[in-house]
Amino acid sequence: MNEASILITLAGVHFVALMSPGPDVALVVQNATRYGRQTGIYIALGLSFGILLHSLLSITGISYLVHQQPVLFALLQLGGGSYLLYLGFGALKATIANWNSAAEIAPADKKALLLSNKKQAFSLGFMTNILNPKALVFFVSLMSTLVPASMSVTGKGFALLILWGLSLIWFTCLAWMLSTERLQTKLNQASRYIDLLCGVIFSLIGLTILWQSLTSFIH
């Protein structure tokens, strides 16, 4: 298989994975729905750079070495699972607190959130992705299967660019679609239910990762 075919296959597999429900998608849905387009786009930017770092670590073999060290990988699972659980409990706590209050954020408050939280939104996206041990395993598998060690430096550079670019485009488009004026009005009315769903998703994934971490320590 030539390098062009490898890159096309890599792009296809990665794009399918991006559309699969997970913490990345839940994070964009929750925040773009509640805080608007700008926050959603900065989260998309953070997520895409997290994916770029995962890809770089995988293509250089660093992630593989981490994955082969049971204690180190278990610690990564512990940290990542705890972080996702923290996000889940935060979303659930906010849902309970706001259940009997107005779900819609006032325009002035929303504007303040957008202007003050660009770095926070980027960091949230970046940390959510980079601390996800499932992402590490995915990119180790993806790179070891589809990107041969003999691939040229230029080919590997294009592979990294494709993985980062597709991620940025997908998450940005998702944030953009969820924050159109007409859809924003409808989604804002259901924001408490969206927060609840995202909180459950974060919590379940976090608990699953923590359980896997604890069982790996036991065994």
Q: Tell me the C-alpha distance between 184 and 178, whole Å.
A: 6
Assess whether pLDDT exceeds 80 at residue 124: yes
Assess whether pLDDT exceeds 70 at residue 185: no
89 vs 184, more confident = 89
Q: Which whole number is the average pLDDT over 105-123?
A: 61
pLDDT at 44: 94
Question: Percentage of the chain surpassing pLDDT 90?
Answer: 21
Q: Which whole number is the average pLDDT over 115-121?
A: 73
CA distances from 31 to 6, 48, 72, 195 (A): 35, 16, 32, 9
Assess whether pLDDT exceeds 70 at residue 2: yes
pLDDT tier at 11 (50, 70, 90 boundaries)? Answer: very high
Q: Are the C-beta atoms of residues 205 and 84 closer than 8 Å to each other?
A: yes
Average pLDDT of the residues of the chain? 81
pLDDT at 218: 63
Q: Tell me the C-alpha distance between 219 and 161, whole Å.
A: 39
Assess whether pLDDT exceeds 90 at residue 162: yes
**Mind listing the pLDDT tens digit for each residue in 76-88?**
888 888 888 888 8
Q: Which whole number is the average pLDDT over 135-164?
A: 88
Assess whether pLDDT exceeds 60 at residue 112: no
Q: In the structure encoding, which two tokens stand for residue 2, read together? A: 């030539």
pTM over 0.85: no
pLDDT at 122: 93
Give the domain ranges of the chain.
3-218
Q: Alpha helix (H) ranges present in 36-152?
A: 37-59, 62-67, 70-98, 107-116, 118-130, 133-146
Assess whether pLDDT exceeds 60 at residue 119: yes
pLDDT at 115: 39
Q: In the structure encoding, which two tokens stand for residue 52, read together? A: 């770029």
Q: In the structure encoding, which two tokens stand for residue 51, read together? A: 């994916």
Dihedral class, residue 102 (left if φ above 0, else alpha if ψ from -120 to 50, else beta): beta
pLDDT at 109: 47
